[in-house]
Structure 1
């Protein structure tokens, strides 16, 4: 081009070596470049494996339901049941998630308790009450290092953009509208299984120099182990339990709750059990595609693809993209949510929203030839709420004079869901309903065994084999 002077002596590609680089700086740079290459290769390998699995997939399952309905927990039950060896091999990748679940609940509880007015010094209080309050305040101070541990593990799991991930996540629910009790914060990661591959890669080579984040992770584990006895003393303290009860904060009903297992989980040699992994909570932003390579004798090597799609209102628009070429829809209905409301709209009851979602799915003509499996989930939490004195009819007036007992409520809801399916399906078809508690892996395994034949027969019929 006229007016542009070309440098005919330029070297391409330009050198990445900084000028005046010392020998120590050179070695450090080479190690960083090698580390980056290993990370890139590990991610490429994971992507190739996913592409290969996608090509061989024989069964496609769509996992749907409201936010916090138990979709991810059910997915892990599928993985545990059909690919136990792969599930076990991946369990260590869940260890930081489980530790972060625990630490977040500790910090959340400490924040609630330390800000409670009853803990403030008062001249009118008894000596016994003052001593108890002093003890709780001391425990809160001794647990303060866990705040930094939480920040560190959040970055370790979510990456440097963890704040941006969380700010774009819109899943979640609240109890009783805008006057809801506060809840512990979620653990957020982007969609895709890259975070698990990265966790495995960080620890796969004992001989290679350990990245700084791995060293920091080990330091966090030591801090957690050192705080274990104080966590137990804090959580079991009558004053703490009374404050949580007065504030109507039920942490035991939240996903990722491990405060009753501190001694085991905070131990230096802790290894996650299958039940721990199933109970662990990580909030994925965006839809996910999972490939399960079956290890069962009858179908060894075959691949099931499960699509786990977000359940918040903002994410439901993408559901229809997954309706094509799917064999089975598995719908999760959290029946314990009868007294809760959507975070997106505090005027909408969660149970009413779930029933409306179910009605829309049943009436969708794109799914008229698809098998439906209905899981009425969180039966254990429903039972706990009813035993605590919550009246179902106060939130579901159509229940009328029926007994306020969990088994009667569950039976009633089962009939309601089945009735909607019959009323709104474009043509006659069978629905397979089950009452479950998805975190009960043994009971859920028995149900998965029952529905396995249903899924296989539907997949075979779609290929004209039967």
Structure 2
């Protein structure tokens, strides 16, 4: 049966994209044609509106392709705190990935241990690590310490080997301060950072270590000498006290207390070991944390955490991440310490200066801020040891309690007041007292941050 569809003669055919469409029915009246064209125009308008809505939704999905974005800020002396918080995020949201990467931290932990040992050896040498003669160096070492220093001397080459393996740098590690150059890792070798090594962001040091298992035979051979004879030597502890150096307050230096375990051939880093391991990253860095459970944040998306660095030269903000929720970390114990980069600047004063800069930045005016006052455990230990907070923070009256609860409350009030004074417009601030190496307590804080971000995302999508 022939088709009932009528077509125009070849001479009357027009391109398919011609608008309005050509008249196909020769018996269609002018009024019928206008009515048909009006209906087709309306159908096209509806179709275009649907296409526009779909494109808008697609772009919105691209923008919110991740569960959350956090801009992580902090002073330079908070680098290790920020690193530990990042590891806590990984441990909570992506535990499988965290445990899979634990082996990568094995050489880092060994390097932290070796650098701590070499720091002590350097302190016992005739000249201190800073290049000037130390008060304790004027006292001659007894035979026991002299023999210990001689027997542990090979660890200098172990440190150089581990440093090269992790950072990929071929530059030698110089322990003799008389030959230390400006480019040497020891040019900025400060007691507060005695166990850290710096790598540049994006250097891929984890990738270099992923498929390598290094030998720790030399370190294992010296384990007993390190733990039982050097670190626990009363003269060594006395020299550290005289120099006002508290290595026990450095998380990575706790490996000195557990040398036998971490130097075993079959040693596998525990979560606590990974949290205490220290590698300082120079420059801004992006961290993607995959959400292993869709129940964790409601949509199973990745989290992106931007660390722009804490050095004064790294405190610029990138415009493409200013819609992120920001977190500032600052050490609550910093009241009695100076910056390693500028010994004339108090750490607490520098943290407050950075906080004012963040609060007053107009680009961050619409960003909710999270303040983490970290290392509350060390603050507690220092105050209990008799360190007077009022001697360093003169605005804290001497008749006020020199106790953790009162001091931490005062610190929170200081930062809250600065936030109110310097914010360009009213916005929320969420302060927390934290101990980043306490995984349970930090997990509670992270859960609170997660809830805040989820509420923020839902409010921006008009769901709330």
What TM-score bracket applies, with the shorter chain setting the length? 0.7 to 0.9
1:331 is displaced (CA, Å) by 0.8
Residues 81 and 379 of structure 1: CA distance in aligned 2, closer, same or farther (over 3 Å)? same
Quick one: which of 209, 224, 230 aligns to 2:225? 230
Residues 411 and 107 of structure 1: CA distance in aligned 2, closer, same or farther (over 3 Å)? same
Please list the CA deviations of residues 89-114 of structure 1 after superposition, one character each: whole Å capped at 9, or x if unmatched. 01111111111000000111122124
| Distance in 2 between residues matched to 1:269 and 1:302, nearest whole Å | 35
1:464 is displaced (CA, Å) by 3.5
Q: What is the DSSP-based 3-state SS (H/G/I as helix, E as strand, rest coil) of the residue aligned with 1:319?
A: coil
Quick one: which of 143, 166, 181 aligns to 1:134? 143
2:114 is matched with which residue?
103
1:452 is matched with which residue?
450
1:173 is displaced (CA, Å) by 9.8
1:430 is displaced (CA, Å) by 1.9
Is 2:195–2:252's contact at 8 Å kept on the other side of the alignment? no
| Distance in 1 between residues matched to 2:263 and 2:432, nearest whole Å | 35
Is 1:63–1:329's contact at 8 Å kept on the other side of the alignment? yes
Q: What is the DSSP-based 3-state SS (H/G/I as helix, E as strand, rest coil) of the residue aligned with 2:432?
A: strand
Matching of residue 352 in structure 1 with residue 342 in structure 2: no
1:178 is matched with which residue?
none
1:197 is matched with which residue?
207
The answer to which of 256-265 and 227-236 deviates more is 256-265
The answer to which of 258-267 and 76-85 deviates more is 258-267
1:241 is matched with which residue?
237
1:434 is matched with which residue?
432
Q: What is the DSSP-based 3-state SS (H/G/I as helix, E as strand, rest coil) of the residue aligned with 1:68?
A: helix
Is 1:114–1:137's contact at 8 Å kept on the other side of the alignment? no
1:270 is matched with which residue?
267
Q: Which has the higher contact order (CA 8 A, sep 6+)?
A: 1
1:274 is displaced (CA, Å) by 1.0
Q: What is the DSSP-based 3-state SS (H/G/I as helix, E as strand, rest coil) of the residue aligned with 2:76?
A: coil
| Distance in 1 between residues matched to 2:187 and 2:346, nearest whole Å | 15
Residues 182 and 408 of structure 1: CA distance in aligned 2, closer, same or farther (over 3 Å)? closer
Residues 197 and 182 of structure 1: CA distance in aligned 2, closer, same or farther (over 3 Å)? closer
1:322-333 map, 5 Å: 323-326=321-324, 328-333=325-330
Residues 425 and 182 of structure 1: CA distance in aligned 2, closer, same or farther (over 3 Å)? closer
Is 1:54–1:291's contact at 8 Å kept on the other side of the alignment? no
Q: How many residues align?
A: 379
Is 1:191–1:284's contact at 8 Å kept on the other side of the alignment? yes
| Distance in 1 between residues matched to 2:74 and 2:320, nearest whole Å | 14
Q: What is the DSSP-based 3-state SS (H/G/I as helix, E as strand, rest coil) of the residue aligned with 2:338?
A: strand
Please list the CA deviations of residues 404-425 of structure 1 after superposition, one character each: whole Å capped at 9, or x if unmatched. 2222111100111111112222
Q: What is the DSSP-based 3-state SS (H/G/I as helix, E as strand, rest coil) of the residue aligned with 2:345?
A: coil
Q: Which runs of no fewer than 5 residues in structure 2 stay unpaired? A: 1-61, 127-135, 174-181
Quick one: which of 362, 378, 383 aligns to 2:380? 383
1:366-405 map, 5 Å: 366-401=363-398, 402-405=400-403
1:118 is displaced (CA, Å) by 6.7
Give the structure-1-normalised TM-score.
Answer: 0.76
Give the structure-2-normalised TM-score.
Answer: 0.76
| Distance in 2 between residues matched to 1:144 and 1:55, nearest whole Å | 54
1:388 is displaced (CA, Å) by 2.6
Quick one: which of 93, 99, 107 aligns to 2:104? 93
Matching of residue 58 in structure 1 with residue 67 in structure 2: yes
1:343 is displaced (CA, Å) by 3.3
Displaced runs of 4 or more, over 6 A: 168-174
Larger fraction in helix: 1
1:78 is matched with which residue?
89
Please list the CA deviations of residues 172-215 of structure 1 after superposition, one character each: whole Å capped at 9, or x if unmatched. 896xxxxxx68626312110261112211x33xxxxxxxxxx6x
1:171 is displaced (CA, Å) by 12
The answer to which of 253-262 and 347-356 deviates more is 253-262
Q: RMSD over aligned Cα, in angstroms?
A: 2.6
Q: What is the DSSP-based 3-state SS (H/G/I as helix, E as strand, rest coil) of the residue aligned with 1:357?
A: helix
Residues 55 and 434 of structure 1: CA distance in aligned 2, closer, same or farther (over 3 Å)? closer
